[in-house]
Structure 1
Amino acid sequence: MNDRSPLSAPRHPSPTDDPLADLHTTDLSDLAIEADQQPRADVGTGTVQIGTGLSRIDALAKVTGRARYAAEHPADDLLYGWVVNTAAARGRITSIDASRALALTGVVDVLTHENRPKMRSLDLFYKDMTAPAGSPFKPLHDDEVHYSGQPVALVVARSLELARHAARLVQVRVETQPHETSMLAHRDRSHEPKSLKAGYSPPPKPRGAADAHWEDASIRVDTESYAGVEHHNPMEMHASTVIVGKDGHLTVYDKTQGSQNSRWVISRVFGLPARKVTVRNPFVGGAFGSGLRPQYQLLLATMAALHLKQSVRVMLTRQQMFTFGHRPETWQRVRLASDGEGRLTSVIHEALAETSRKEDYVEVVVNWSGQLYHCENVRLDYRLVALDQYSPIDMRAPGAAHGVHALEVAMDELSYAAGLDPLELRLRNYADRDSAQDLPFSTKALRECYAQGAERFGWSRRPRQPRSRREGDEWVGWGMATGTWDAMQMFARARAVLHANGQLVVESAATDIGTGTYTVMTQIAAAALGLPMEQVTFRLGDSTLPVAPIEGGSSHVTTVGSAVEGACEKIQRELWKRARHHVDGFAKVKFEDVEFSNGHLNARTGGLSVPLEQLVRLKGEDQIEAKYLLLPNLLKQKKYVRAVHSAVFCEVRVDEELGTVRVTRVVSAVAAGRIINPVTARSQVIGGVVWGISQALLEETLSDHALGRFMNHNLGEYHVAVNADVGEIDVLFVEEDDRIVSRLGAKGVGEIGIVGVAAAISNAIFHATGRRLRSTPMTPDKVMRRD
């Protein structure tokens, strides 16, 4: 021991102080915002562990309406903006007459390209952190019309209703030009994409002689599939509330998957110092990729606020949610060949996808076909067709949702051609290494997914031949497919502060789009320091917090979660050092021999224990603070292929007379590393399965290419899955622990839930009816019997 007075080591935790004591004197408006940003767990959770299933700590705030979304934050003298969109698909604006709108009492202004405030013009300033190569769209920049639905004016008024009414009075005249909006009609002018986009890898070079082996094969399939445009339809529509402070500081509440990404764009476009802009997104009502890039309402609300020096809110309507990016229209051709034992001898996967004329939006569509199964002869090709559309944007499992679908339907066809069970075909072509890069997988428990999923589903009882089982008016079919997605990790910072009253506050500019970020990060921190959940607060959704990536690609747990654990480990070590120097009996206790539980630091042997609060106060301090920078270990990670895998088994019931398909049962077996919270992880996979059903059977965008616009831009005609469309969904997690991907051993589960679901449904429809449907959605007109 040193010369300082030692502390005794009590065996029981002491009561904690009131966790909200420091807020009791706060102004009520500030308290509302503070409470929104800091959901807390219910009292009585006790010490938690990684892997414990816990309910969401933000649930109460959401169901009681205390959670505020982007369009719900109050401001004094708030003005409302309403977007005027043009119907023309391409052309130039010849005039905008806003006189009738401006004549209305309460209409403050109508902004157009002719009178907007000064904004920067260079493309570089409009590029957000996820932008693809090319020139980003600049709202109200000039008189050029690039696509139908483009915003061309913003009416600002003293009430939402007045702004909406006045917007109808604005007359916009456009000199139209010939447009092209059909990808299939313009396949002949496809081009190689520019590959500049975060997360995108171009197809690897061909290996072997795929074409020759396919031509010579006796067992082969040649498939074409088409997937039309899909639109994001989260419950919360895109909105931005820009609050102008007395000092000119902008506080922006934005529907975004990255507060720092939105701040980045605002500050650069308007030439503002980053310190003069704060973006907050404490709650996001779903996004699924639509919030990765800042949408146009953010720049419109900001320009109006700067122009009028007054707070402004702009919220898009459900119809306007169809006027920005979407999952791109995609055509694919997959050719597979095998030997007599069903082993792949050739894989050829080609894809065409749409993009805008302004940017080369890219996705990883075909690469999965060179990674998922073992084959020596592979050729992959991916090209783009530029159209007069808004640039597509990421949608849940971008690229994989379509690319893996095409592959897995083709694999099902090959299983019948080779006379093998679809599961057996996949096992015979199981890849222990990624042949394209000749690298091992960091972990890969796909065999276990196949085995456990098949057992749970009862796959062994599946009749071999299609049209083998009928119940009443419905044919019953079973299908399966494989799913895969990247296991990504980015970089992030986290800050943790342990207070003398036992309260732990952890911060990072992360986002919770409904995935459970609040809950899981709180759980990671609580488990690290052995605290009950109610003593831990995780702060997110504020651009002033430590840097975090956008919430996308199923990387938040592996990235921000690892940073949170890293910050908490620093506090662990500081507490341990204090115990060694100041507490009797701990002098020779190694760090590896202590544990944190029930608010105490405990020696694993000997019964030594000391409350964390006492260790915090040892140096006359009231807190211990630690910061952690999470940087991926690229030297280690690049030696492996990091991926999440799943096996999806599905039962459908098909009425051929009506063309209806009921998905009555789905089993999804997922290998996604160490599962931090099975409750929230399961919810993510269930949500993905529901969307897979929607993708397979319902979601269809109808376009009038003569007009160059989407026609069914509402939820009455653009159908998404509802409760009546969803049967039993069973999710199981296969044991896996991947310390290559993250220090937590975790991967991600946000994307993998949707991958393979539509293919499993398609394959089940074939097993039920003998009719092969490759394209999505598989609507009744395609399913209906044709004599």
Structure 2
Amino acid sequence: MSPQPQAAVGAPLSRVDGRLKVTGKAQYAAEHDIDGAVHAVIVDASIGRGRITSIDTRAALAHAGVLRVIHHSNAPKLPYRDNPGSNNPPGRRLRVFQDDKVLFHGQPVAVVIATTLEAAQHGASLVEVRYDAEQPSTDLYEAKPDKPTTYARGDAEAALRSAAVRLDLTYELARNHHNPMEPHATIARWDGDKLTVWDKTQWVVGTRDELSTVFDVPKDSVRVINPFVGGAFGSGLRCWPHTIVAALAARVTGRPVKLVLSRRQMYFGTGYRPSYAYRLRLGSDRRGRLTAMAHEMDSETSSYETFTETVMPAGQMLYSMPNVSQAYRPVPLDVNTPIWMRGPGFASAAFVIESAMDELAHKLGVDPIELRRRNEPNEDESNGLPFSTRRLRDCYTVGARQFGWHRRNPKPRARREGDWLIGMGVAVGVYETQRNQAQARVHLDADGTALVETAASDMGPGTYTSQTQVAADALGLTLRTVTVRLGDSLFPPTPPHGGSQTMASVGSAVLDGCNQVRRQAIELAVGDRKSPLYGVPAADIVVRGGRLHVKNNPARGETYRSLLARNDRPHLEALGSFAGAPSPERHSFYAYNATFAEVAVDATLGLVRVRRMLGVYDAGRIISPKLAESQAIGGIVGGIGTALLEHTVTDHRDGRIVNANLADYLVPVNADVPEVKAIYLDGEDREADPLGVKGLGEVVHVGVAPAIANAVFNATGRRARQLPITAEALL
């Protein structure tokens, strides 16, 4: 078949769902109007560890409007079958209301169901729970780690002993919470043995499977619906206990139940980016050529599940060196289980590695970009595979020119404007190119319009728009004649909407389905004696604007509408699929960036202001430049939060999160966000997937925090090895 004209892909288009969102017509999980729905409010544990000795519900049940109070003493026993295909970490997942154990502060211990939200809220405040409390273990630096996951090549210890230059550095990274604008919410309704759930999730298929195993009902008896997600950043990548609570309450009461977590409850009702204690030792020659790195990483997890993330790969493949050792140790604590958060693992590792590279550059008197160039690998040294594409050198060159890197004074604290110390920093970001199996149903109607259905979510990157662009070009239609439907477990299955895999995986399935339908139409035309295209080689036909025509003779052709009407075909349909990454891989697949930051630090107060930021990205083919720029801005803003503001504070006496609100847990606001610019290198990666994309939702976040930290050092001469960087650390 001839390549299709590309009119939509690559164009800076506005979101196709934008009007629905700005007019309030896009319905989020809690906004669906379900007849007869009642309200549920969770009562959460006020201790960090122990047992429930009694629950007094009399006052709550006496309150007007309260229907039921469910807790471990009266809840039905749930099967909680194993769910091997889930995103649940190894361990024994929390079983709501199944026993009297309290594993962490904020654990659900009861739920109040009432006819109104206000009645449920007040009823929850009337439930009296007594405990036999124990001292919780919540301090990463006091607890005993699990056995490590290790990696080694060469002999790092021997190389470090003989290195001409050595650094031994320890970094601390605070816990971060996702804090999306839309709170996590679930509406659950049972119709006999069939369960329908409207849920805030990034994976409707995963939530369906979890509900199926918890309640021991067939998968086809569970439907999960979630057409719109109001931000998630990873917090919706597994089915959390509140969703089980809502479904349980609906079954017990025989009524549809709506349950919305409060902002406070989201700090322990869903996951978070775990804190790290990270020691890095590195060695080099006097020209800065790395000889060894030794990584020791301790990261928090819960006592009942072992959460891990991809914090190790960056240290294995980002720079060339013969000797590497790594030990990654989860530390079980009396906390709820962490979850992936934007740039998971790679963002934490990048802060340490890129800060250390800056420290080495300063010690040697070498420009930080030049140091990185000297350690650029020719292949992925962790597995010997060639990189599919790796254009970090181009990122450095373009970024340095655009940012004015030549104006940077390498001497710290050398540039001053009044009370402000000015500095520049740079850091590298990397994130793996994930691809997994996906399907999409494509339906071309006789009126010349198309419908694409796939179970993928859209939490904000613009999945509706980008998939519409792919479908429109593959079918030769305009954007307004293509409709994409997402977020329903009845649609063809897709992987989780996370890990920057949606465009590569789901987009490739959409492309395949649309190509199949277009081929069906072309084959129908060339075999139809009444068609102007009869007898034309199929390879010579393209479709543009809903009209099939000879590639070099646009006048010879006909529309989908006339072709299907004449052949009495009400529609054409195909199930597109993408097989995911081959096994074994023949290449090493990553997206990259070089991130530049300029900061101003008040010399007296230690206050940091980010003045400019630039990200230059090697992310393969860019389907939607306008959305890509939006992703970069969002990733950089999130990185500013990680670098300077975000820090979950735990009271180790009882495990309570002290700042579980948006007043005390600081996130960037408009006044914190500087001039931000994103540049995407032209190119594609056809080794990765049929679309040539590499994923960009994660990589735009990785590297932001160390770029800011390195700029702060250049401005002040003070090296911050703790995140967030506080004024106290700079005074």
When normalised by structure 1's length, the TM-score is 0.90
1:192 alignment partner in structure 2: 147
Identity %: 43
* TM-superposition CA deviations, 1:450-479 (whole Å, max 9, x none): 111111101122112111210010000000
The answer as to 2:487 corresponding to 1:541 is: yes
SS in 2 for 1:174: strand
1:88 alignment partner in structure 2: 47
* TM-superposition CA deviations, 1:412-459 (whole Å, max 9, x none): 011112221000000111112111101111111211111111111011
1:766 alignment partner in structure 2: 713
2:57 to 95, 98, 103: 98
CA distance in structure 1 between the aligned counterparts of 2:190 and 2:79, rounded to whole angstroms: 20
1:183 alignment partner in structure 2: 140
1:161 to 110, 114, 118: 118
1:620 to 568, 586, 600: 568
2:704 alignment partner in structure 1: 757
1:251 alignment partner in structure 2: 196
Query: Structure 2, unaligned stretches of length 5 or more?
Result: none
* TM-superposition CA deviations, 1:704-748 (whole Å, max 9, x none): 111222111101100000100000000000122111211000111
The aligned amino acid for 2:183 is M
Q: Give the number of equivalent residue pairs.
A: 724
CA distance in structure 1 between the aligned counterparts of 2:674 and 2:406, rounded to whole angstroms: 21
* TM-superposition CA deviations, 1:688-718 (whole Å, max 9, x none): 1000000000001111111222111101100
1:462 alignment partner in structure 2: 408
1:729 alignment partner in structure 2: 676
Alpha-carbon deviation of 1:273?
2.4
* TM-superposition CA deviations, 1:145-169 (whole Å, max 9, x none): 0001111000000000010001111
Are the equivalent residues in 2 in contact too, given 1:47–1:533 (CA < 8 A)? no
2:452 alignment partner in structure 1: 506
The aligned amino acid for 1:252 is V
Alpha-carbon deviation of 1:620?
1.1
2:128 alignment partner in structure 1: 171
**Counterparts of 1:4-83 in structure 2 under 5 Å?**
48-83=7-42
The aligned amino acid for 1:259 is V
Alpha-carbon deviation of 1:128?
6.3
Are the equivalent residues in 1 in contact too, given 2:531–2:558 (CA < 8 A)? no
SS in 2 for 1:206: strand
* TM-superposition CA deviations, 1:645-688 (whole Å, max 9, x none): 00000000000311110111000001111000011111111101
Alpha-carbon deviation of 1:770?
0.6
CA distance in structure 1 between the aligned counterparts of 2:260 and 2:549, rounded to whole angstroms: 53
The answer as to 2:452 corresponding to 1:452 is: no
SS in 2 for 1:559: helix
CA distance in structure 2 between the aligned counterparts of 1:710 and 1:107, rounded to whole angstroms: 29
* TM-superposition CA deviations, 1:266-312 (whole Å, max 9, x none): 12211222232211001110111110011121111100101111110
Alpha-carbon deviation of 1:632?
2.1
CA distance in structure 2 between the aligned counterparts of 1:602 and 1:580, rounded to whole angstroms: 11
CA distance in structure 1 between the aligned counterparts of 2:118 and 2:85, rounded to whole angstroms: 32
CA distance in structure 1 between the aligned counterparts of 2:266 and 2:501, rounded to whole angstroms: 26
1:699 alignment partner in structure 2: 646
The answer as to 2:565 corresponding to 1:610 is: no
**Counterparts of 1:659-674 in structure 2 under 5 Å?**
659-674=606-621
**Counterparts of 1:426-445 in structure 2 under 5 Å?**
426-445=372-391
**Counterparts of 1:339-358 in structure 2 under 5 Å?**
339-358=285-304
The answer as to 2:76 corresponding to 1:114 is: no
CA distance in structure 2 between the aligned counterparts of 1:606 and 1:388, rounded to whole angstroms: 70
Go from structure 1 to structure 2 and tell me whether the alpha carbon gap of 1:589 and 1:405 turns closer, same or farther (over 3 Å shift).
farther
**Counterparts of 1:582-731 in structure 2 under 5 Å?**
582=528, 586-587=533-534, 589-607=536-554, 608-635=556-583, 638-731=585-678
Alpha-carbon deviation of 1:591?
3.9
The aligned amino acid for 2:550 is A
CA distance in structure 2 between the aligned counterparts of 1:605 and 1:377, rounded to whole angstroms: 58
Are the equivalent residues in 2 in contact too, given 1:397–1:485 (CA < 8 A)? yes
The answer as to 2:498 corresponding to 1:552 is: yes
SS in 2 for 1:760: helix
CA distance in structure 2 between the aligned counterparts of 1:275 and 1:216, rounded to whole angstroms: 62
SS in 2 for 1:75: coil
Are the equivalent residues in 2 in contact too, given 1:128–1:294 (CA < 8 A)? no
When normalised by structure 2's length, the TM-score is 0.97
SS in 1 for 2:688: coil
Alpha-carbon deviation of 1:47?
8.2
SS in 2 for 1:256: coil
SS in 2 for 1:495: strand
The aligned amino acid for 1:192 is K
Alpha-carbon deviation of 1:141?
1.6
Are the equivalent residues in 2 in contact too, given 1:484–1:644 (CA < 8 A)? yes
The aligned amino acid for 2:407 is R
Alpha-carbon deviation of 1:618?
4.0
CA distance in structure 2 between the aligned counterparts of 1:638 and 1:177, rounded to whole angstroms: 49
SS in 1 for 2:105: coil
Are the equivalent residues in 1 in contact too, given 2:598–2:610 (CA < 8 A)? yes
Are the equivalent residues in 1 in contact too, given 2:522–2:538 (CA < 8 A)? yes
The aligned amino acid for 1:311 is P
1:742 to 664, 689, 693: 689
The aligned amino acid for 2:242 is Q
CA distance in structure 2 between the aligned counterparts of 1:675 and 1:525, rounded to whole angstroms: 15
1:477 alignment partner in structure 2: 423
1:425 alignment partner in structure 2: 371
Alpha-carbon deviation of 1:177?
1.9
CA distance in structure 2 between the aligned counterparts of 1:284 and 1:121, rounded to whole angstroms: 27
Q: What value does the CA root-mean-square deviation take over the aligned residues? A: 1.5
* TM-superposition CA deviations, 1:246-268 (whole Å, max 9, x none): x5533211000011111111122
* TM-superposition CA deviations, 1:161-217 (whole Å, max 9, x none): 01000111100011012321101112xx21225xxxxxxxx65x3111211121222
1:394 alignment partner in structure 2: 340
Alpha-carbon deviation of 1:587?
4.9
Alpha-carbon deviation of 1:142?
0.7
2:88 alignment partner in structure 1: 131
SS in 2 for 1:439: coil
Query: Structure 1, unaligned stretches of length 5 or more?
Result: 1-45, 194-201
SS in 2 for 1:139: coil
Are the equivalent residues in 2 in contact too, given 1:232–1:321 (CA < 8 A)? no
The aligned amino acid for 1:504 is A
CA distance in structure 1 between the aligned counterparts of 2:33 and 2:375, rounded to whole angstroms: 58
The answer as to 2:180 corresponding to 1:225 is: no
The aligned amino acid for 1:403 is A
The aligned amino acid for 1:775 is Q
Go from structure 1 to structure 2 and tell me whether the alpha carbon gap of 1:378 and 1:593 turns closer, same or farther (over 3 Å shift).
same
The aligned amino acid for 1:461 is R
2:523 to 564, 571, 577: 577
CA distance in structure 2 between the aligned counterparts of 1:446 and 1:580, rounded to whole angstroms: 47
The answer as to 2:239 corresponding to 1:284 is: no
CA distance in structure 2 between the aligned counterparts of 1:742 and 1:340, rounded to whole angstroms: 41
CA distance in structure 2 between the aligned counterparts of 1:330 and 1:776, rounded to whole angstroms: 10
Are the equivalent residues in 2 in contact too, given 1:443–1:736 (CA < 8 A)? no
Alpha-carbon deviation of 1:111?
0.3
Go from structure 1 to structure 2 and tell me whether the alpha carbon gap of 1:75 and 1:248 turns closer, same or farther (over 3 Å shift).
farther
* TM-superposition CA deviations, 1:109-139 (whole Å, max 9, x none): 00001111331145x15x6611111111111
The aligned amino acid for 2:564 is V
The aligned amino acid for 2:423 is G
* TM-superposition CA deviations, 1:603-653 (whole Å, max 9, x none): 222332221212223431110001122102514x61111101000000000
Go from structure 1 to structure 2 and tell me whether the alpha carbon gap of 1:652 and 1:118 turns closer, same or farther (over 3 Å shift).
same
Are the equivalent residues in 1 in contact too, given 2:439–2:575 (CA < 8 A)? yes
Are the equivalent residues in 2 in contact too, given 1:467–1:767 (CA < 8 A)? yes
The answer as to 2:332 corresponding to 1:375 is: no
